[in-house]
Amino acid sequence: MAEQNLLLTPIKIGTKTVPNRFAINAMECCDADADGNPTDSTYARYEKIFEGEAGFINLEAITVQYDYISREHQLSIMPRNEKALAKFVKHLKAINPNNVFVLQLTHSGEISEPHFSKRCRVTETPLYGYEDAELIGADETDKIIDMFVESSKIAHAIGADGVDLKFCHGYLGSQILRPFNSHNWKYGGAWENRRRFAFDMTERVVKEVNDPNFIVGSKVSIFEGFPGGQGTAGPDSSLMDLTESIDLIKGLEERGATYILQSAGSPSHTLALSQTDRKIPDHGYFHHYFQKVCRDNLRPETVVIGSDYTIYRDGKQPFQAVRPEKNTLDFWGNKNIREGIVDMVCLGRQSFADPYVPKKFREGKQGEIKWCTACDNCIEFLIRQEHVGCAVYNKPYTERMKEIRAEKGNLKEKHT
């Protein structure tokens, strides 16, 4: 008898059971309107993703405070957006209600883009490269927590299944957590202070939304990969020390988080760690370890969703030391679920190249999947503040990339 494909087995997230172990990662596409509402282009992308049948879908980063944004045309979730977002969620749920659809609430803090936004920082000494960010204190930070809570209530009111409170990738949630936030203040210095932002926010969202069916979880950078980043041993230490990351995920769970979406790195600083570069595909394996750390430290019912699975595709990346058939998405997804390393596998770039991966797996049509080459042209669009899409399989984006490079030359630095 053929072995069951574990990627096609159901799993319970919070109180809801979804039909498979595929998750779609949050992927910003810079195509909202001037108020931060979804446009036709946003609708078109998510319609395909919903048709694609993934069990868990994380909406791209949506800001709780439009004054601090990293992307022009970023989505926003403030009272003014409620009506448009309600229509959007209803439309998508009508396409496929059999998933968990969470909205990734974010605040950019110091990595907001100064050309069209303000920048704020929480560290007395600015992080190198962000000296122009204005220092904010406890009162402003308290108000930001209030905004996350208000946005979560909007998410609940509009029919989303939950929220993903973003504590990863160098955004404000990371800026506060990391050891580099070393001066002593309500949300800084000792770990007990740095974790307060994430813990208080999670506790308040769970309490104030007050619906046991509403899912609260977080995408977390277990290790940011630069001195003083999340998962390092101190403000200027490059050494990996996951003590705080482990305490973070356990504390989130204690306060009601029902999943942790593991990630690593920070696209503004250590991009090749957050999304493995095809020149060094084997760096993808680091994520498996971070997933195992999450799985080993959380209750069995807390779902661990692992990032960075795009790199394996059908085995056709230049991995060394291992046969191609043992380096596919199918292989690693099944092996890591079977061995208790992860519960669900998350697709980021692959969801641009082909949003129908879960459906094609279910139908046994894996041979028809358009595999992401990990060329990273899509992140180039993001870096250049352009609408984002797959420049390999989506012709208008292929053409646009050619135009951009002809006008502006090749990208000089690869980070957001």
- Contact between 416 and ligand SF4 per CB under 6 A: no
Question: How far is 305 from 11, CA to CA, in rounded Å?
Answer: 11
**In the complex, least distance from residue 349 CB atom to ligand SF4, rounded to whole angstroms:** 4
- Contact between 76 and ligand FMN per CB under 6 A: no
Interaction partner, residue 219 (ligand SF4, ligand FMN, none; CB < 5-8 Å by kind): ligand FMN
Under 8 Å between Cβ of 327 and 318? no
Nearest alpha-carbon partner for 243 in 262, 222, 229: 222
Question: How far is 107 from 172, CA to CA, in rounded Å?
Answer: 6
Q: Which stretch binds ligand SF4 (CB under 6 A): 162-170, 179-187, 331-339, 375-383?
A: 375-383
Under 8 Å between Cβ of 68 and 120? yes
> Which residues, including other chains, have CB under 8 Å from residue 345's CB and lie 6 or more apart?
7, 21, 22, 23, 305, 306, 309, 329, 332, 333, 336, 337
Q: Phi then psi for 235, rounded to 5 degrees?
A: -60, -30
Q: Which stretch binds ligand FMN (CB under 6 A): 22-30, 182-190, 292-300, 362-370?
A: 22-30
Interaction partner, residue 104 (ligand SF4, ligand FMN, none; CB < 5-8 Å by kind): ligand FMN
- Contact between 107 and ligand FMN per CB under 6 A: no
Using CB under 6 A, which residues numbered 215 to 234 contact ligand FMN?
A: 219
Site size for ligand FMN, by CB under 6 A? 27
Question: How far is 403 from 380, CA to CA, in rounded Å?
Answer: 13
- Contact between 273 and ligand FMN per CB under 6 A: no
Among 59, 376, 383, 416, binds ligand SF4 (CB under 6 A): 376
DSSP for 243-275?
HHHHHHHHHHHHTT--EEEEE-S-TTT-HHHHS
Q: Phi then psi for 118, rounded to 5 degrees?
A: -100, 160
C-alpha distances in Å from residue 393, one per residue of 45, 314, 399, 411: 14, 16, 11, 21
Rg (CA), the chain: 20
Among 308, 330, 343, 386, binds ligand FMN (CB under 6 A): 308
- β 259-263/215-221 pair status: parallel
Interaction partner, residue 26 (ligand FMN, ligand SF4, none; CB < 5-8 Å by kind): ligand FMN
Among 171, 226, 352, 361, binds ligand SF4 (CB under 6 A): 352
- Contact between 61 and ligand FMN per CB under 6 A: yes
C-alpha distances in Å from residue 76, one per residue of 32, 34, 108: 8, 10, 12
Q: Which stretch binds ligand FMN (CB under 6 A): 14-22, 78-86, 223-231, 309-317?
A: 309-317
Interaction partner, residue 382 (ligand SF4, ligand FMN, none; CB < 5-8 Å by kind): ligand FMN
- Contact between 263 and ligand FMN per CB under 6 A: yes
Q: What does the binding site for ligand FMN look like in residue numbers (CB under 6 A)?
A: 25-28, 60-61, 104, 168-169, 219, 263, 274-276, 307-311, 347-350, 378-379, 382, 388
Q: What does the binding site for ligand SF4 look like in residue numbers (CB under 6 A)?
A: 349, 352-353, 372-378, 390-392
